[in-house]
A and B are shown apart, each in its own frame.
Chain A
């Protein structure tokens, strides 16, 4: 937290907790057939696009077919990973008691094994969101994404590492669960990673075999174009997922917290940290679906286990609650949020003395005053 962070009284924290708990309960009580139909419709579209994409690549010698196939497969992988996989594995649809969409059973179309990811994401990241030294998603152990991370010459490569992470995002997400930085510091032993490594190996092998051996081989003489098509679809998904996810917690104005600041947090204080530690992206309904509704990162972090289609519905209420307590509601278009993230990646590559004083949030970030007016 900085000097400018809005602080609430204990009574306000308690009231904030009650307001948000009540909002959550209202959504939970309303869950039903419509939510089930929605997620099954998304699944149907995703599977249809996948089959169409794989099919079109059999005609990959014809460039428009190749392009259409890659486009369909890219969208399929994006939907699978974001609106379906990420959200199902959060347990958003566990209330349906449908094994096909249950958080304990679901696997997604990426090399990161569900079980590893659920631990680092659902537990570590969502519980300790933006707490320095605890939330391993701050820079993912590779990047410097917060001024409080001490600079060293390694971080001169920040933009390069970020670019590589973007291009190979699915592999980065997979390797994240190795907790390499904890292995180096000695906090964790190599032997402790046996289970994680075994799952990575199995999942990585299956995914590689499917995309880079079996489907190319099935297309016979089109082996190379199919392989290139599958690789492109994976790349498109990587770039898109990276862009959306980096806009969730890294745009300017998003707060980070220390362990001391968050010791003995109440429910209200936990909500407060989730709101201040996340940023939204504005856009069309289709954009929200393609982002897995992670464009509503604030709503997602408040209520990670309610179906994502509900986030746009409750967003006006969450925004009004922010305004009621004078809290910022950080949102902006993809261009603005992503630009701000890229700026941060480049800026934090440099030592602090070269940049002079830590910068203030750039104009356009919705501060508390703006949020009040907007609401």
Chain B
């Protein structure tokens, strides 16, 4: 995750150092002294580790000077080396965007999450993470809306919690409802802080438990939940992040009410990609590696991995563009929207593209 440093004419000391270090770059020497001692590379040192529930870990991260900050709701790509391999995942900082010099990541260890499980059991102060600059368009508008409804489920809480904390830091006076879904009370991260934030006159905290009583609401999201939590939802801006079931439930209700354009969403877990295997025809060729296999109907990233290749990738859901590769021939379909890519030599995202007939990828 190298960031390009803008070429400024006045920056002559760095340019001299780079001319001396060529072809390797100054960071490749400095990092051997200390991994955080880098000029161009963006990294973050874990300064605090807090395991708040049995399966979540909250890391306080102090990034290097290249960090340009983030807007609440954005994500960063976080890379760690696990058994020799750099594994990269996208996480949204959960802190206020106004906190200077550090941010927090709250990570839930999923049963099959290699990185989340590794961080949950191994993260200690001093661990150095590889970072990207903040990315993503899931953010509040600069002119903060008068009414904001934040809906989250499970570990989807992080980007909307960042929004809530940011609005609180700004002493925002408009109505804010924070509607969060969890299995039980024990699964709600940052519970005490949420309650403290709800002391503010304009903040309304609504906790909904899907598998237990004792919350403000019980069960899965539906229109009655929406009316109970935010009667003014029609005039509000709504920000939603959660598991696929919650995402589609909220989308359906908003579409039914004709409010789809007031709903802003961020996926944090890939929606199950449904591809009819019977439709899969043709052969997939990975030209650079000289491998070919019959099209299985899965995404090209999965087919490449099934063919024994290990292409670079990140989110596996089409947001981080780490797995972009040039499709040299053939047609692919974007599984998210059905859009076809028919031109040769077009860059495609392997993780969300499935082949339509014969396809050749420069991989």
Q: Which residues of A contact B (CB under 8 A)?
A: 28, 31-37, 43-44, 47-48, 51, 94-100, 107-109, 203, 206-207, 209-210, 214-215, 218
Give A239 to B84 CA distance when docked, in angstroms: 34
Known: A32-B84, A34-B84, A107-B24. A214 touches B16 (CB 8 A): yes
Within 8 A of A (CB), among B285-322: 308, 310, 312
Give A207 to B2 CA distance when docked, in angstroms: 22
Question: Pick the contact of A51 from B29, B83, B88 — CB < 8 Å?
Answer: B29
A-B contact pairs, 28 of them (CB 8 A): A32-B83, A32-B84, A32-B85, A33-B83, A33-B84, A36-B81, A36-B85, A47-B29, A48-B32, A51-B29, A96-B85, A97-B88, A97-B310, A97-B312, A98-B81, A98-B86, A99-B2, A100-B28, A107-B23, A108-B23, A109-B24, A206-B19, A207-B22, A209-B19, A210-B19, A210-B20, A210-B22, A218-B20
A215–B23 touching, CB < 8 Å: no
Give A97 to B1 CA distance when docked, in angstroms: 11
B88 (CB) vs chain A CBs: closest residue? A97
B23–A109 touching, CB < 8 Å: yes
B23–A95 touching, CB < 8 Å: no
Within 8 A of A (CB), among B1-52: 1-2, 16, 19-20, 22-24, 28-29, 32
Which residues of the partner chain A approach B1 to less than 8 Å between Cβ atoms?
99
Among A31, A47, A97, max chain B CB count under 10 A is at: A97
Give A198 to B348 CA distance when docked, in angstroms: 29
Q: Mark B77-111, 1 if CB is under 8 A from A, else 0.
A: 00001011111100000000000000000000000
Within 8 A of A (CB), among B163-198: none
Give A256 to B256 CA distance when docked, in angstroms: 73
Q: Which residues of B contact A (CB under 8 A)?
A: 1-2, 16, 19-20, 22-24, 28-29, 32, 81, 83-88, 308, 310, 312
Which residues of the partner chain B approach A95 to less than 8 Å between Cβ atoms?
84-85, 310
Kindly provide the distance from the CB of B305 to the nearest chain A CB, expressed in whole angstroms: 12
User: Known contacts A47-B24, A94-B310; can you find 10 more A-B pairs with CB under 8 A?
Assistant: A37-B84, A95-B85, A99-B2, A107-B24, A108-B23, A109-B24, A206-B22, A214-B16, A214-B20, A215-B20
A218 (CB) vs chain B CBs: closest residue? B20
Kindly provide the distance from the CB of B28 to the nearest chain A CB, expressed in whole angstroms: 6
Give A109 to B23 CA distance when docked, in angstroms: 6
Kindly provide the distance from the CB of A228 to the nearest chain B CB, expressed in whole angstroms: 18
Give A85 to B93 CA distance when docked, in angstroms: 37
A93 (CB) vs chain B CBs: closest residue? B84
Among B19, B84, B87, B310, max chain A CB count under 10 A is at: B84
A97–B86 touching, CB < 8 Å: yes
Which residues of the partner chain A approach B29 to less than 8 Å between Cβ atoms?
47, 51
Give A19 to B250 CA distance when docked, in angstroms: 56
Among B23, B87, B88, B310, max chain A CB count under 10 A is at: B23
Which residues of the partner chain B approach A203 to less than 8 Å between Cβ atoms?
23
Among B20, B24, B81, max chain A CB count under 10 A is at: B24
Kindly provide the distance from the CB of B32 to the nearest chain A CB, expressed in whole angstroms: 6
Known: A34-B84, A96-B85. A47 touches B32 (CB 8 A): yes
A31 (CB) vs chain B CBs: closest residue? B84
B86 (CB) vs chain A CBs: closest residue? A97
Known: A51-B29, A97-B310, A214-B16. A35 touches B23 (CB 8 A): no
A36–B84 touching, CB < 8 Å: yes
Which residues of the partner chain A approach B81 to less than 8 Å between Cβ atoms?
33, 36, 96, 98
Give A109 to B19 CA distance when docked, in angstroms: 12
Question: Ordered nearest first, which 6 A-B pairs have the shortest CB separation?
Answer: A107-B23, A36-B84, A97-B86, A33-B84, A32-B84, A32-B83
B28 (CB) vs chain A CBs: closest residue? A100
Which residues of the partner chain B approach A210 to less than 8 Å between Cβ atoms?
19-20, 22
Give A206 to B105 CA distance when docked, in angstroms: 41
Question: Pick the contact of A35 from B19, B84, B87 — CB < 8 Å?
Answer: B84
Which residues of the partner chain A approach B308 to less than 8 Å between Cβ atoms?
28
Known: A32-B83, A96-B84, A214-B16. A206 touches B310 (CB 8 A): no
Which residues of the partner chain B approach A218 to less than 8 Å between Cβ atoms?
20
Kindly provide the distance from the CB of A233 to the nearest chain B CB, expressed in whole angstroms: 15
A108 (CB) vs chain B CBs: closest residue? B23
Kindly provide the distance from the CB of B78 to the nearest chain A CB, expressed in whole angstroms: 13
Give A99 to B312 CA distance when docked, in angstroms: 10
Which residues of the partner chain A approach B88 to less than 8 Å between Cβ atoms?
97
